[in-house]
Amino acid sequence: MTARLAQIWRHPVKAHGRERIDMATLEVGKALPWDRVWAVAHERSCFDVERPSWAPPGDFSRGASSPRLQQIECFSDPAYRSITFFHPDRPSISINPHDHGDGCEFIQWVMPISLGAKLLPSRFVRAPDEAMTDTGYQSISLINLASHRALAEHLGQDLSELRWRGNFLVEGMAAWEELDWVGKTLRLGDAEFEVVEPIQRCRMTEANPETGRRDADTLRGLSEGFGHQNCGVYLKVTKGGEIMEGMSFEVLG
């Protein structure tokens, strides 16, 4: 079977919204354009606004502690510097993410769906030239949809593939085949990637992106069914190029 890029997703604000795109132009050493460019620092975050740089996931509001964040969808227009956010329990809001005042408005918008979290949202932040990926390097996440379906079958539940907040959703592979790609090089169109490591999962994936409720014990299912808590792999771009949905991957070894 040939691995095929079925869907491309980006998340302009880390943990707050998702949007599907059909193509992107990748640069060496960079994340997917407009993916996790911004983040929401919580009230005890160590993120330094005076000297902003990449910070670990624990400094930010996330779906692991605020499951209703999983319901946010968005539409972004980089040319006009705008992002519009949608949530079933909130009116839609459009912001210029580069504007401090709009960032403050977004914090107020997201507060009601963050209540109950141990640490509440505090600041809308970014780091120059660095995406707030979960890894200390600029990464793109790849999800094997066959692995996703294997877990859903093990749990006996219908699971949305959007639980994983992946960038590349891939068809045409055997379940867990992506884990054998670690250390290898992939080609997609003109772009090339190093497959760096598996993605170890957290409680965020327990939350249903339609309801915002925790309704699946994904971590237990992974451990008991497959002997690990991984789903997907992280990629690093080693050669830039334009990619689009429907393209096939080539494993270069």
Q: Are 173 and 199 in contact (CB under 8 A)?
A: no
Average pLDDT of every residue of the chain: 97
Question: Where residue 12 falls among pLDDT bands split at 50, 70, 90?
Answer: very high
Q: Are 110 and 16 in contact (CB under 8 A)?
A: yes
Q: Are 198 and 149 in contact (CB under 8 A)?
A: no
Please write the tens of the pLDDT for every residue from 68-89: 999 999 999 999 999 999 999 9
CA–CA separation, 79 and 149 (whole Å): 37
The residue extents of the domains of the chain are 4-28+135-251, 38-126
**With a threshold of 0.85, does the pTM exceed it?**
yes
Question: Where residue 253 falls among pLDDT bands split at 50, 70, 90?
Answer: confident
pLDDT higher than 80, residue 130: yes
Please report where in the chains the tokens 């990637």 appear, as a residue. 193
**38-42/121-126 β-pairing:** antiparallel
Please write the tens of the pLDDT for every residue from 146-197: 999 999 999 999 999 999 999 999 999 999 999 999 999 999 999 999 999 9
Indicate the CATH number of 4-28+135-251 among 1.20.120.1200, 3.40.50.2300, 3.40.1190.20, 2.40.33.20: 2.40.33.20
Query: Nearest CA to 243 among 32, 30, 26?
Result: 26
